[in-house]
Structure 1
Amino acid sequence: MNKSRLEAFSDGVLAIIITIMILEIKAPEDDSFESLQHLIPVFLSYVLSFVYVGIYWNNHHHMFQVVKKVSGSILWSNLFLLFWLSLIPFATSWIGEHQFSAVPMSVYGFVLLMCAVSYIILQNKIIKLEGNDSVLHRAVNSDTKGKISMACYISAIPLAFVSPWISGLLYIAVALIWVIPDSRIEKQLNKL
C-alpha cells in the first residue's frame, strides 16, 4: 500500500488540530491591554501545545521519509496516534482556562503520554513490517530521548497534584528535548 495517502491525511488532521487550538482563544470584549491579562495562561498553553503538535508533525514526517510501504496495522496505528493528538486542543483549552490547575495538568500529561505511547506503537509496527535491518530500526534502536520523555510524563501526571508548576516544567523540558530536530533518521540515511 502506498504511504502518500496516510501522510496527506495525517498532515490534514494535524493542521485541523492547530486550527482548533487557535480558535479556542477568544478575543476579549474590552479593547484594553489589561483585558488581555486573563488570556496569558490560555496563550501560554497554546504555545506549548503548538510546539508539541509541531514536534509530532516533524518527527512523523521524518519517520515516513524512510518508510517504503504501509500495512493495515500501520494505518490503524497511525489513526491511534491521530486520536490522541486530536485530544490536545481539549487538554490545552482546559489547562489554559483553569490556569494550570492540578486535574487539567494531569489530564494534559496523560494525553501527552498517550501521544508518545501511540507514536512508539506506530514506530514499532513500521519496524515490524520493514525489518530489523531497516533504516528506522537502526535510527531508533536506543531511544534515549523517548525513554526520558516517557519518564517525565509518568512523573508529571501525579506531580500535578503536588505542584502543577513542576508538571508544567517537565512538559516544557520534554518539548525542549524534542524541539531540536531529531537527526537520527537523517544520520542513517547519510550512511546509505
Structure 2
Amino acid sequence: MAEKNYMETGRLEAFYDAIIAIIVTVLVLELPQPATASLASLWAIKTSYFAYLISFLVCVNLWQYHHMIYQHVEKIDVKVIWLNIILMFVFSLIPYLTIFSANHLNSLLTQSLYGLDFIINIVLFLMAIYLTKINPESEYLKDVMNLKNAVYIPLLIFIAGLVAAFLGYPVTISICCLITIVRSVIVSLKY
C-alpha cells in the first residue's frame, strides 16, 4: 500500500484568506446606496444592512474558526483540500444569498436558502473530525470536537427558526442564524 501524501497547510490557508477577502469585498459592494442623503433613506434599506451584518459575521466567524483550527494542524491531505473546496463553494454563495434575502425578507424560499449557511457549519465539523484523525496528537482539535457546542445546539436553533418560518415568520431563519453566529463567537472565546 502506498504511503499517504500529506501536505503543509500554508498554501491552503493563503487561498482561503484570499477567498474570504473577496467575498467580504463583494458583500460590501452589493450594499445598495440610499436614494438620498437622509436617515429616512438609510432606514428604507435596513433589510440590506441586516442581511449584510449577518453575512459579514458569518464570514469573520468562519475565518476565525478556520484560522484557530489550522494553527493546530500540522498536515493535510487531498480530502481536506476537497472539504475546503466544498466549504468555499457554499461560502461563495453568501453575497448572492445576502442580496436575495434582503430583497425578499418575508419569503420562506429566500430565507431558507439564506439559512443554508448552516451547511458551512456541517462541512467545518466534518473537516475538523477528519483533521483530528490525521493529526491525532492535537488536543485542541479534540476539544473543538465537542458535539454539543459544534452541532447540536446550533442545529436546534436553526430548526426552531425553520419551524417559526413555516408558521408564517420567515425572517426568524435570519434571526436564528444571527443567534447561532453570536453564540459561536462567544463559545470560541474560551479557546
TM range, normalised to the smaller chain? 0.7 to 0.9
Inter-partner Cα distance in structure 2 for 1:3 and 1:15: 18
Which of 97, 105, 108 is equivalent to 2:103?
Answer: 97
- Provide the rounded CA distance (Å) in 2 between the counterparts of 1:27 and 1:13: 25
1:114 aligns with 2:119: yes
CA deviation profile, 1:128-155 (whole Å, cap 9, x unmatched): 2123x43244212423222211222234
Query: Alignment identity in percent?
Result: 27
State the aligned residue count: 183
Q: Is the 8 A contact 2:97 2:113 kept in 1?
A: yes
Distance across 1 between alignment mates of 2:27 and 2:90 = 14
1:148 is matched with: 153
Q: In 1, distance between residues paired with 2:144 and 2:185?
A: 17
Q: Distance in 2 between matches of 1:177 and 1:40?
A: 23
Residue 41 of structure 1 is matched in structure 2 by 47
Aligned-pair distance for 1:96? 0.9
Which of 118, 124, 139 is matched with 1:135 structurally? 139
Q: Is the 8 A contact 1:153 1:170 kept in 2?
A: yes
For residue 158 of structure 1, report the CA deviation from its aligned partner: 4.6
- Provide the rounded CA distance (Å) in 2 between the counterparts of 1:172 and 1:76: 27
* Change in CA separation of 1:32 and 1:137 when aligned onto 2, cut-off 3 Å: closer
- Which of structure 1's runs of 4+ aligned residues deviate more than 6 A? none
CA distance in 1, matches of 2:177, 2:82: 27
Give the match for residue 65 of structure 2.
Answer: 59
Residue 123 in structure 1 maps to residue 132 in structure 2: no
- Matching of residue 21 in structure 1 with residue 33 in structure 2: no
Residue-by-residue CA offset, 1:8-59 (whole Å, 9 max, x unaligned): 0001101111111111112134333322222110011101111111111001
Distance in 1 separating the partners of 2:81 and 2:141? 19
Secondary structure of residue in 1 paired with 2:33? coil
Structure 2: gaps spanning 5 or more residues: 1-6
Query: 2: distance between equivalents of 1:48 and 1:141?
Result: 24
Deviation at 1:181, TM superposition (A): 5.7
Secondary structure of 2:8's partner?
coil
**Distance in 2 (alpha carbons) for counterparts of 1:100 and 1:45:** 12
**C-alpha distance 100-46 of structure 1, shift in aligned 2 (>3 A):** farther
SS at match of 2:45: helix
Alignment counterpart, residue 85 of structure 2, candidates 79, 89, 92:
79
Matches of 2:121 and 2:131 in 1, distance apart? 15
